[in-house]
Amino acid sequence: MSFIPQILFPSQRHWLSLFCSRISRKRLPPGPRGFPIIGNLFDVPQSNEAFVYRNMARQYNSDIIYFNICGKSIVVVNSFEAADELFDKRSSIYSDRPRMPMLNELDVSGSGFDWHMAFMPYGDAWKEHRRLFHKELQPPATRLYRPRQLEEVRKALLRFLESPDDYLSHLRHMSGTIILSTAYGIDIKPKDDPYVEVIEKAINAVSLAGNVPSYLVNQIPALKYIPDWFPGAHFKRQAKQWRGYAEAMASLPLQFVKESMAKGTAKPSIASRFLSSMEEEGPRSPKKEEVLRNVLATVYVAGSDTTVAVIENFILAVVQNPEILKKGQKAVDDAIGTDRLPDFGDQNSIPYVDALVKEALRWRPITPLAAPHSVIADDEYQGYHIPAGSTVVGNAYAMLYDETVYGPDTHLYNPERFLTKEGKLNPHVKHPEAAFGFGRRQCPGIDIAESSIWMAIASILACFDIAKPVDDLGFEIEPEEGLIFGIVVRAKPFKCTIRPRSTHVPALIRDGLQHSVLT
């Protein structure tokens, strides 16, 4: 141990030598060799990260792989077995978040997203937010929101009739209205809605700021102290701009509810119900109001893009696989007939639609790499040492493409992988909930998201034929295959034709919408 300083006393050299020898004997998970000081800085992929990490796991024949970036340990988890063991069974030490200076540390509060539950450190504040989230956005509470979900899905069907080429805008409007009306009682305008404009700017900002590898300050937090005018400090100027969007997104909708309540015009919502209950207990608590503000803003960020992205996956899949569309239409017709639209009473009675939803989640995972966790204590897994403070990332893509779990050809959209030969849901095939994260940090809004997705898919199948568009010569135009990467990964925009299945579909949609509004 010649590197031990010789100025230490013999007993000190003995203990330091013993400590270093123990550290050196700890076996880290396999991964690229790296370089001195910078470690694996150049080994971390800049694109298609989840795919690269899965291949690395296969190369090293290990469920977990390891990187060291400038002294910071990063562990990528690539199997359901490892995810279950670390994120669930050992959740007490794997539920923290790593530091994200770009989001919440620059100057006063980084890009201003310190209110977002997903980025809060594990502790009492996060638990308080989580309790409210669970209370309002998990069964049985979510049953209260289903009439509004049904109404907005049917309004989207009507817009599909009127302007089918704008189907993506209609899906975004549907998703945004479901969340804003549920959370705040806000009815958004079809176009140029001021709340949507602010929120979309904020969501774009959090998508960029939350991409940890994109900003060196996330790897080297000391960079947050450099002055704004310093060369390369553009990230600080970005953070200041984004902070305004973040604050507006969290505060403006709740302020609308408070003003509406004062005027007596507030519509039923989570916010109005919560604020009313606070008033019954006495003066409103600023702390509780802040928790409500944070949770509702998180609901929108977490739910709006994810719902739309999964329905996009489904539409792309049936454009590419018209035989799947026909099977889905037949399954809906067989279950409910052709003289009414699906409603929530039909859930769990159309297994093929359930399988379509599951496969849309699995085939194009909306978060291929889950939001990073941080381990708060030294740990060991399968003989490998995981140092305290390591960033631990769940590779949902690797798990959802695991052929030992989901069968062959996982790159193909095949809902029948979730079904038995008799056409029933196969209970032995794992539900693709990895798309929503892991452990205690898994998105708690799964129920409302999946119910909106199910209703949209079942309703589209009942009403529309979807196909590839054709060019002027009558040749089919293949949809583009690419992806748009952010916090939520989405398909690149593609064109398709959406037409009513029969002449009576328009009347069916209008009657169904009128019925949902009346009920």
Query: What distances in angstroms separate CA 255 from CA 175, 219, 270, 468, one per listed residue?
Result: 22, 36, 14, 45
Beta bridge partners, 464, equal 500
Amino acid present at 91: S
At residue 245, the pLDDT reads 81
> Which residues are documented as binding site?
443
Q: Is residue 67 part of a domain?
A: no
pTM score = 0.89
Q: In the predicted model, what is the mean pLDDT of the chain?
A: 87
Confidence of residue 382 (pLDDT cuts 50, 70, 90): very high
What is the domain-level CATH number for residue 173? 1.10.630.10
d(CA 305, CA 436): 13
- 4 has a pLDDT exceeding 50: no
292 exposure class (CB count in 10 Å sphere: 0-12, 13-18, 19+): buried
pLDDT tens digits, one per residue of 22-73:
444 589 999 999 999 889 988 988 788 999 999 999 999 999 999 998 888 9
Amino acid present at 180: L
Q: Is residue 48 part of a domain?
A: no
- 215 has a pLDDT exceeding 80: no
Amino acid present at 19: F
Q: Is residue 33 part of a domain?
A: no
pLDDT tens digits, one per residue of 227-255:
877 887 777 877 777 788 888 888 999 99
At residue 110, the pLDDT reads 46
- 143 has a pLDDT exceeding 90: no
Q: Is residue 388 part of a domain?
A: no
Domain that holds residue 218: 95-371+402-518
pLDDT tens digits, one per residue of 284-300:
788 899 999 999 988 88
Q: What's the domain count of the chain?
A: 1
Q: Is residue 389 part of a domain?
A: no
Residue-by-residue DSSP string for 65-108: EEEEETTEEEEEE-SHHHHIIIIIITHHHH-B----HHHHTSTT
Q: Is residue 47 part of a domain?
A: no
Confidence of residue 210 (pLDDT cuts 50, 70, 90): low
pLDDT tens digits, one per residue of 71-130:
889 999 999 999 999 999 999 999 999 877 777 666 544 456 778 888 889 999 999 999
Confidence of residue 5 (pLDDT cuts 50, 70, 90): very low
At residue 85, the pLDDT reads 98
pLDDT tens digits, one per residue of 496-515:
999 999 999 999 999 999 98
Q: Is residue 281 part of a domain?
A: yes
501 exposure class (CB count in 10 Å sphere: 0-12, 13-18, 19+): middle
pLDDT tens digits, one per residue of 259-285:
999 999 999 999 999 999 888 877 778
Q: Is residue 43 part of a domain?
A: no
Q: Which of 3-17, 234-248, 339-353 has the lowest mean pLDDT?
A: 3-17
> Which residues are documented as binding site for heme?
443
